[in-house]
């Protein structure tokens, strides 16, 4: 078992939601953190049927099964949002503490379900980070297999990824009735994967899928709500020149991107390897931000001319470029050097790359090998 960086509350102390993409290891983490918990698994058909028909059963059954002080885990809670009313009552009147686990907040949010009035803390579990894998990690394996534990460990991840996407379409999308036309949404997934780490052109994707731009926007919202991806907004403050304002989209797992986009094996030196590398840097930044509760704002900066910096942390506290190159040249530094002209308040400027040793350029840009970047994150040297 991997040692995960997400620290959950001690048993019997907090009620919380734990969200995360499918197969990130949420159930394993909860079983490790709460070995004595009362467990309600809504993936079991008989459990699901009982509670969807009579959610009030939870109150009566816990009175019998759960002594005060024990945590109660409800796995896949989004399948029966009505249970959250019972959870709220039990939390307030019986001092029970719950771990509410799920891979999609869409049905909960869109269905106006009880979110416990702010009483429940929200945690998110990401795919594996370098820190969690430890010194045995292999970057090429991460960029090809992805961050999901089973896929990373597998020597033949393609079959697992095929099942993962099929299960996502069947259990997250079709079963929840999120789209009317599942074949079109399936084709959308393949096309959207080509836009990973890029500005999204809704009109182009809509034309390729044969639906409206409005429908494609809705499909991206589904990816976001089911935690299969997230937006990276553009930095817009105090521009001296015209900036691009549209957000970029990143899938939560690069292995899923590789499968959907039919990339095959991504090799160092290729353009696809560079895109996968950028996805990985965003993944490490996002996971670190969530696990350390830094609450930093992440964005990107781009001029209308196309000059860009991949990641801006907080209000220009740190600017980061992801370059999957073994030799950083002046051309790789154009964005960071242009940035300081437009935003002179920018703090540290960093290039995360594949060079073997860290160094500092004459104008103060840190060149960080990928491994040193991870160590710097872990030490809190970046944010």
Please say if the pLDDT value at position 113 is more than 60: no
Say what the pLDDT of residue 230 is. 97
Among the candidates 124, 141, 174, a domain finishes at: 124
* Nearest partner of 351 among 310, 379, 314, 296, judged by Cα: 310
Helical H segments across the chain, by residue range:
26-33, 45-53, 57-65, 83-93, 106-110, 130-133, 139-145, 149-153, 157-167, 182-193, 202-209, 213-225, 254-260, 271-291, 334-342, 370-379
Let me know whether 368 and 311 are in one domain: yes
Let me know whether 160 and 295 are in one domain: yes
Say what the pLDDT of residue 107 is. 63
Among the candidates 65, 90, 124, a domain finishes at: 124
Let me know whether 208 and 349 are in one domain: yes
Per-residue pLDDT averaged across 271-278, rounded? 98
pTM of the model: 0.94
For residues 351 and 332, is the Cβ–Cβ distance under 8 A?
yes
Q: Which domain holds residue 331?
A: 130-379
**Could you give the angle at the alpha carbon of 205 between the alpha carbons of 216 and 234, nearest 5°?**
75
The per-residue pLDDT for range 146-177, each reduced to its tens digit, is 999 999 999 999 999 999 999 999 888 887 77
Residue 238 lies in a domain: yes
Residue 54 lies in a domain: yes
Residue 4 lies in a domain: no
CATH of the domain at 100: 3.40.50.300
| Separation of alpha carbons 107 and 78, rounded Å | 6
The per-residue pLDDT for range 309-350, each reduced to its tens digit, is 999 999 999 999 999 999 999 999 999 999 999 999 999 999
Let me know whether 120 and 135 are in one domain: no
């Amino acid at each position: 078992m991997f040692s995960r960086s997400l620290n959950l509350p001690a048993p019997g102390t907090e009620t919380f939601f734990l969200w995360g993409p499918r197969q990130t290891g949420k159930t394993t983490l909860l079983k490790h953190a709460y070995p004595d918990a009362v467990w309600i698994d809504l993936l079991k058909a008989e459990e699901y049927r009982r509670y969807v028909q009579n959610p009030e059963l939870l109150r009566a059954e816990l009175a019998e099964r759960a002594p005060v002080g024990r945590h109660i885990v409800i796995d896949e809670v989004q399948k029966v949002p009505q249970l959250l009313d019972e959870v709220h009552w039990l939390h307030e009147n019986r001092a029970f503490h719950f771990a509410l686990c799920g891979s999609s907040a869409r049905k909960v949010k869109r269905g106006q379900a009880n979110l416990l009035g702010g009483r429940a803390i929200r945690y998110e579990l990401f795919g594996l980070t370098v820190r969690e894998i430890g010194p045995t990690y292999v970057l090429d394996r991460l960029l090809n297999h992805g961050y999901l534990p089973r896929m990373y460990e597998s020597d033949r991840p393609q079959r697992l990824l095929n099942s993962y996407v099929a299960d996502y379409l069947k259990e997250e999308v079709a079963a929840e009735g999120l789209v009317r036309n599942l074949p079109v949404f399936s084709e959308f997934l393949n096309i959207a994967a080509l836009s990973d780490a890029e500005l999204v052109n809704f009109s182009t994707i809509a034309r390729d899928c044969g639906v409206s731009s409005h429908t494609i926007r809705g499909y991206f919202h589904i990816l976001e709500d089911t935690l299969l991806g997230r937006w990276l907004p553009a930095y817009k403050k105090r521009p001296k020149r015209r900036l691009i304002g549209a957000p970029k989209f990143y899938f939560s797992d690069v292995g899923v991107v590789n499968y959907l986009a039919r990339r095959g094996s991504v090799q160092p030196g290729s353009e696809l390897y560079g895109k996968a590398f950028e996805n990985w840097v965003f993944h490490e930044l996002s996971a670190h931000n969530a696990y350390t509760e830094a609450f930093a704002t992440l964005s990107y900066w781009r001029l209308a001319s196309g000059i860009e910096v991949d990641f801006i942390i907080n209000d220009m506290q740190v600017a980061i470029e992801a370059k999957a190159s073994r030799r950083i040249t002046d051309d790789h530094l154009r964005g960071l050097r242009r940035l300081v002209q437009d935003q002179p308040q920018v703090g540290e400027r960093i290039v995360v790359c594949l060079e073997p040793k860290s160094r500092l350029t004459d104008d103060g840009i840190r060149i960080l090998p990928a491994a040193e970047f991870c160590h710097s994150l872990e030490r809190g040297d970046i944010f």
